[in-house]
Amino acid sequence: MPPPVQLVRPKRHGDARGWFTEVYSVPAFAAMGINCTFVQDNHSYSGPAFTLRGLHFQTPTRGQDKLVRCIRGRIYDVAVDARNGSPTYGQWVGAELSAENGHQLFVPIGFAHGFVTLEENCEVSYKCSDTYAPDNDGGIRWDDPVIGIDWPMPAGIAPKLSAKDAVQPRLAEFNSPFLYDGRPLAPLV
């Protein structure tokens, strides 16, 4: 059984002109155990380095699977297990995604998602399995010490946050509606 959060490394085919890559294919993703239907594509731009967006999710019945990639610059992308009853509840995994490496992170429903930009002028594109639903919009504090995410920011640098992200609840204040599906969070490989 595949792990819930997966680091996807699409193959690049290059020559003197540049490269080509297939970033999404239903059969290829099904072979990895990713069987969702994406219905919305989002694209964000962050000007300043160390802009932090997250940790976000949408609650049932409007949960979102996400397939995240950085198409300009570099980000550190994180998923936090928010599934009630999970032996890895509150644990996190993270990976650097960049335009150069082409890696993607699949973040399923039941995980809080966020990223920090590692340089100026970053663009992030991600697919979602449901459209935005304001009534189901939720989040957890990016700096919750119980979760303990090791954000790769220089000492003394405070991230640029939205007003909403600055006041998200801590994990202990969150009554998770997500259920554990039998697949514990595993290290990214």
Gyration radius of the chain's alpha carbons? 16
Task: Write out the two tokens for 31.
Answer: 């072979």
d(CA 101, CA 97): 7
d(CA 48, CA 56): 20
Does 126 qualify as catalytic in the annotation?
A: yes
Does 56 qualify as catalytic in the annotation?
A: yes
Instruction: Name the nearest CA neighbour of 6 among 22, 27, 30.
Output: 30
- Annotated catalytic residue within 76, 89, 113, 126: 126
Largest CA distance in the chain: 54
- Measured between alpha carbons, how far apart are the two ends of the chain, in Å? 14
- Annotated catalytic residue within 56, 76, 89, 103: 56
| Residues recognised as catalytic | 56, 126
